């Protein structure tokens, strides 16, 4: 299995049987991504919440590739309103066995709204995802603040790879992300949601160096790890 980072909060997963997943496909307008929108081919699109830098190119990609959009019901409803028929509704605390593996939608402490036609649309509760694929557990935290119940993830999952926001301002910063990493207790923690905009400029190496040795890794956009 290949797990890739593509700038901001965009990650991709290619399973051993060739299924292609993308989380929060913010490509257009993302100066840090390595992805070229028209070259992206996916089977599943996962959306953590309804902000524009996470919804991103969901509509375009879903129409182009016929990928299934997986998200909280309000985001799925918006997708359907835009002509996307292949959606899968989930909600926080729920799990589902997809053809490629099991996915659990988990809580994130944030907000969720999308500006559309001059109005702000409520897009449901923000979330994260835990993917259990090919014997590996991957946690995408979405946008979240630090909150003590993150420790409950360690009770239910032995997470191999955790993608944690470090940018501050909109999400937890490095100090809180380090606290989160310690209580989640993933094997490796990868920083996301930083340096895309001036207000979230951070040094990801500082995050990694603040963790126990071997517990953190910075991925450059377009870089992959394999399990």
CA 143/CA 54 separation, integer angstroms: 9
pTM of structure = 0.98
Give the tens place of pLDDT for each residue, 55-87: 999 999 999 999 999 999 999 999 999 999 999
Report the pLDDT value the prediction gives residue 145, as an integer from 0 to 100.
Answer: 98
Going from the C-alpha of 126 to that of each of 35, 43, 105, the distances in angstroms are 25, 22, 10
Domains located in the chain, CATH noted: 2-216 (3.60.15.10)
Q: What is the mean pLDDT of the chain?
A: 98
pLDDT of residue 224: 98
Sheet with 87-89: list strands edge to edge.
Answer: 87-89, 68-71, 44-46, 20-23, 11-14, 2-5, 223-226
pLDDT band at 148; cut points 50, 70, 90: very high
At 173-218, the pLDDT tens digits run: 999 999 999 999 999 999 999 999 999 999 999 999 999 999 999 9
How far are the Cα atoms of 64, 97, 111, 153 from residue 40, in angstroms, in the given order?
9, 24, 28, 31
């Amino acid at each position: 299995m290949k797990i890739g980072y593509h700038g901001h909060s965009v990650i991709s997963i290619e399973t051993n049987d060739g299924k292609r997943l993308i989380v929060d496909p913010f490509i257009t307008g993302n100066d840090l991504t390595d992805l070229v929108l028209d070259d992206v081919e996916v089977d599943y699109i996962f959306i953590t919440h309804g902000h524009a830098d996470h919804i991103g190119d969901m509509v375009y990609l879903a129409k182009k590739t016929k990928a299934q959009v997986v998200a909280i019901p309000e985001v799925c409803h918006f997708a359907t309103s835009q002509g996307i028929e292949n959606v899968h509704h989930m909600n926080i605390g729920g799990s589902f066995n997809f053809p490629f593996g099991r996915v659990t939608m988990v809580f994130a402490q944030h907000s969720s709204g999308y500006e559309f036609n001059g109005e702000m649309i409520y897009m449901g509760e923000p979330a994260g995802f835990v993917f259990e694929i090919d014997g590996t557990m991957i946690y995408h935290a979405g946008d979240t603040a630090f909150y003590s119940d993150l420790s409950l993830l360690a009770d239910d999952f032995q997470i191999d790879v955790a993608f944690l926001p470090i940018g501050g301002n909109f999400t937890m910063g490095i100090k809180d992300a380090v606290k989160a990493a310690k209580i989640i207790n993933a094997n490796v923690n990868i920083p996301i949601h930083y340096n895309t905009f001036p207000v979230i400029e951070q040094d990801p190496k500082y995050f990694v160096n603040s963790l126990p040795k071997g517990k953190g890794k910075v991925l450059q956009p377009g870089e992959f790890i394999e399990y």
